[in-house]
Amino acid sequence: MLDLVRSPHSGANVLFSGTTRSTFGDSTVESLRYSAYTPLALRSMLRICTDIQTKYSASGVAMVHRLGEVGVGEESILIAISTKHRGEAWRGGEEALERCKSEVEVWKMERFEGGGVWRANRDGAAGVKVEEGDFVPDGEQGKEGKVGKVITRSDPLPSEEDTKRPVPPLERGHGPVVHHQ
């Protein structure tokens, strides 16, 4: 990832790797599942990278966000930035992360023991609690004649296939790279 942004004109290269924690509050996390409206998310990520590059005079900025299931300890986001000095690299990387969390069209299902929560991809953002037996609107007939699908612990999480692009073999995420040498 750093090779995508590295430049002989820069003296600082920063790589941020965001991973899935094993706990959230008092709950044990089993996994996270990310879904996105990919065409819009990619445009938002490119806008952020371009803005960060301009603001911090970066030689390059790259951002990759995984979609689908992300287990505990696995990376969900990588951000790399290359600037002349370390201060700009640290600040630019942090701003890129905060803007990604607040602006990019990515949602996550936090799956805990006994249930989960859908939320925007932001720390502390309110979520919609999903537990076993809850309904996910998908047009299927659920229990008590309601439209939806009952979630059980053995069920896969709702699919995001309609909103994510096909992923080439060995690729585990998507995102823009802005680089000027």
Q: Report pTM.
A: 0.70
pLDDT score of 46 more than 60: yes
pLDDT digits (tens, 9 = 90+) for 105-126: 888 888 888 777 777 665 544 4
Token readout for 163 is 């909103």
Q: Over the range 123-149, which residues count as b (16 or more CB within 10 Å of their CB) and which as e?
A: eeeebeebeeebbeeeeeebeeeeebb
User: Which one is predicted more confidently, 85 or 164?
Assistant: 85
- Selected from 3.40.640.10, 3.90.1170.40, 1.20.140.10, 1.10.150.530, the CATH number assigned to the domain covering 2-154 reads 3.90.1170.40
User: Which one is predicted more confidently, 109 or 167?
Assistant: 109
Q: Is 59 within 8 Å of 10 (Cβ atoms)? A: yes
User: Which one is predicted more confidently, 124 or 35?
Assistant: 35
DSSP structural state of residue 20: B
Give the per-residue pLDDT at 127. 46
Give the per-residue pLDDT at 29. 92
Each domain of the chain, given as residue ranges in start order, spans 2-154
